[in-house]
Structure 1
Amino acid sequence: MASCSPFEDYQVGQVLTLSVIPEQGEKSSDSTARARIRHLQIPRTLSCCMIVDLLGEGCPDNPVFLKLYDRRFSEQLRSDHGIDPWKRDAEEEYINAVRTGAARQFLHNLHTIPDFEEDTGESWDDGQIEAFLTGQVHELFNTEATVYDTLRDIQGKLVPRLVARVHLPLSLPDAGIGLADAVELLHIKGILLQYIDGFSLSKVQDHAPKSEWQGIVDQAVAIVQVVGDHGVLNRDVRPDSFIVQRDRSGCYRVFMIDFGLARLRGWNETERDWAKAKLNKDEEGAVGLVMKKRLAREGFELRFENSDRYMEWAGGDDE
């Protein structure tokens, strides 16, 4: 059941019909979820994020967070790869490449031929570029969904709860595409998450009193450690990777978000190699040292229990 044109952007008030992707081991089903867009998050980065209300009997009253890995409008993704903003002509060329099987063949070559991107990238047409981006967003989706599965026991506590994996079918301007694996190339994959109504850790000085800053940053650093203990290494940890929520009792709770650029510990990765990888990425320093520098501008000195560990943090730029 398609609910979105491949040539139109998302709009507040729009109702999306999302197909629910069964979890691994579950039988396939025709389950759908209807979601009305309440708010669109700007700017768009590696995905398109929005706050939505689920419609229908038995749906929760509270809004949920919808993250769609949409190559068309993921501005940072396109910019990171030096690709121009999406345009209708490119979409028409991509749809045609999916219909003819050229897109599937292109992705096969990309994944199986050594140095294919380096050797041919300069000559890609618009259809091939959009196919390349489809492969990129599918990988982001698979990574983030897998990480949330790995963090199942801390969902709703230290990271948002994963409500469902979904995909948004796009309605085609004329005849459909018969092959199921080809149709998938026109699906916008996504995840529905618990909506955390709060503020970014990077804005803690604007939303919380100074008396709470130390405890809030301590929570963020502790979450990094817990996530690491689950065998997850996040390559994109920064203060904006955390949402701080003030609960009904007045206490501040921190949640870690955004795992599209994370990876799991390899099954054959030794303790030594894993420790080296974590040290090189320095997730704790990416939070602790950056926030220490940022809050120092406000005349506040963050202190850390393990001062020796703090001195080892590589840190880097604080933005």
Structure 2
Amino acid sequence: MRCPYYTGAEYHLQITPGAGFPAPAIINVKVRVLEVFEPITISPVLKVALATEPLSTDLPPVLVLKVYDRRYAKDLRAFYDIPDPSAETEEAFRTWASSGPGSQRTLDEWERKRRADDELDIEPSTEETEAYLAALLASYHENEVHIYERMVSMQGNEIPRFFGRTRFIIETDKAQSDEITDAEVPGILVEYVEGTRLDNLSIDALSPALCQKCVDIVLAFGDRGVLNRDVRLENFIVPSSPEVSTSGSEIRRDVVMIDFAQARLRGEDEDDERWKGEKWSTDEEGAIGYVLQKKCGWDYKPTFRYLVPAED
């Protein structure tokens, strides 16, 4: 079964706008894939161009479309030892999903079931694992949307602009193709930032000011009640050149953080002690600060903001 995410592919999308993007309740657009960012690890990430005619939206002409498709979550499939999808396995999964309540379980319910099965040495079926991955990817999608909505004041500067949730509109004449997208696959549409990933930047380009800015962004997330378990060099982009605003002035961005699928908001019932414990054990600040220190010799000074005092 051919992966539907490839250069030159065209999709019709329905966009539900996010906070910070003034638009009608629903927007329908057509996009064309300019590039697939490789390797695909968990979510296919695509550089797309608007192909809607006439262009009646305030969307920029080039964007990033990120989709949460269990079929092509390559690292997760390898971890759970699930083979690549085929027309036959997809048909079997859909038949299974439509014949019972199993596919309707939440992620928490799936995780409880998997723990119980593990204790009893019960091997989950391929269909159950596919359903679990679908629930897991759906949670990643919700995480990312919630983070962008919470961090709206940083959009367009320290993080990309978030334009909204997406779903694929399936064309009738492609309904029988094994290369089509899936209307049930959720996605997001965000700003495309041209630049170099922090892990690919030369040591000479890693100035103390740039390193500190990366740490400051991470700390700002914590100040707004966000815990991110995926802070790493690969998730920071240094823009290649200043951008031009609609008023014609230059917008200079030192560094932009991306990928919040494995981040979460602080729970409403999460007290200070528990929250600080989670933040301290995750150590997002150190995940970027210590790595930059090792990479370029930057004199990183941790804040110990979430230090949990030792018990007497």
**Shared fold, TM over 0.5:** yes
Cα distance, 1:166 vs structure 2? 0.3
Q: SS of the counterpart of 1:244?
A: strand
Cα distance, 1:123 vs structure 2? 4.3
Name the aligned partner's letter for residue 238 of structure 2: V
CA distance in structure 2 between the partners assigned to 1:113 and 1:283 by the alignment: 28
Q: How many residues align?
A: 284
Structure 1's 30 and 234: CA in aligned 2 closer, same or farther, altered over 3 A? closer
* Percent of residue pairs identical: 27
Q: Does 1:226 align with 2:223?
A: no
Match of 2:176 in 1: 173
Superposition map of 1:94-243 within 5 A: 94-98=93-97, 100-102=98-100, 104-108=101-105, 111-112=108-109, 115-120=112-117, 122-169=122-169, 172-173=175-176, 187-205=184-202, 209-210=204-205, 212-243=206-237
Contact 2:34 2:47 in 1 (8 A): yes
Match of 1:181 in 2: none
Deviates more, 1:282-291 or 1:240-249: 240-249
Structure 2 counterpart of 1:47, from 43, 46, 62? 43
Match of 2:81 in 1: 82
CA distance in structure 1 between the partners assigned to 2:18 and 2:253 by the alignment: 32
Cα distance, 1:29 vs structure 2? 6.0
Structure 1, unmatched stretches of 5+, are 1-5, 175-184, 296-300, 313-319
CA deviation vs aligned residue, 1:93-132 (integer Å, no higher than 9, x gap): 122234x343x43433875488422344754443333222
CA distance in structure 1 between the partners assigned to 2:45 and 2:110 by the alignment: 34
Contact 1:216 1:252 in 2 (8 A): no
Structure 1's 75 and 119: CA in aligned 2 closer, same or farther, altered over 3 A? same
Structure 1's 259 and 232: CA in aligned 2 closer, same or farther, altered over 3 A? same
Q: SS of the counterpart of 2:145?
A: helix
Cα distance, 1:20 vs structure 2? 1.8
Cα distance, 1:250 vs structure 2? 11
User: What TM-score results when the alignment is normalised by the length of structure 1?
Assistant: 0.78
Structure 1's 116 and 109: CA in aligned 2 closer, same or farther, altered over 3 A? farther
Superposition map of 1:242-281 within 5 A: 242-248=236-242, 253-281=254-282
Structure 1's 218 and 253: CA in aligned 2 closer, same or farther, altered over 3 A? same
Structure with the bigger percentage of helix: 1
CA distance in structure 2 between the partners assigned to 1:303 and 1:191 by the alignment: 37
Contact 1:109 1:116 in 2 (8 A): no
Structure 1's 188 and 307: CA in aligned 2 closer, same or farther, altered over 3 A? closer
RMSD: 3.1
CA deviation vs aligned residue, 1:16-39 (integer Å, no higher than 9, x gap): 111223659x9x966322110000
Structure 2, unmatched stretches of 5+, are 243-249, 308-312
Cα distance, 1:282 vs structure 2? 0.6
Structure 1's 58 and 129: CA in aligned 2 closer, same or farther, altered over 3 A? same
CA distance in structure 1 between the partners assigned to 2:109 and 2:186 by the alignment: 23
Structure 1's 58 and 203: CA in aligned 2 closer, same or farther, altered over 3 A? same
Match of 1:179 in 2: none
CA distance in structure 2 between the partners assigned to 1:51 and 1:131 by the alignment: 28
User: What TM-score results when the alignment is normalised by the length of structure 2?
Assistant: 0.80
Q: SS of the counterpart of 1:20?
A: strand
Contact 1:169 1:188 in 2 (8 A): no
Q: Does 1:283 align with 2:289?
A: no
CA distance in structure 2 between the partners assigned to 1:71 and 1:275 by the alignment: 33
Contact 1:90 1:130 in 2 (8 A): no
Match of 1:11 in 2: 6
CA distance in structure 1 between the partners assigned to 2:65 and 2:240 by the alignment: 22
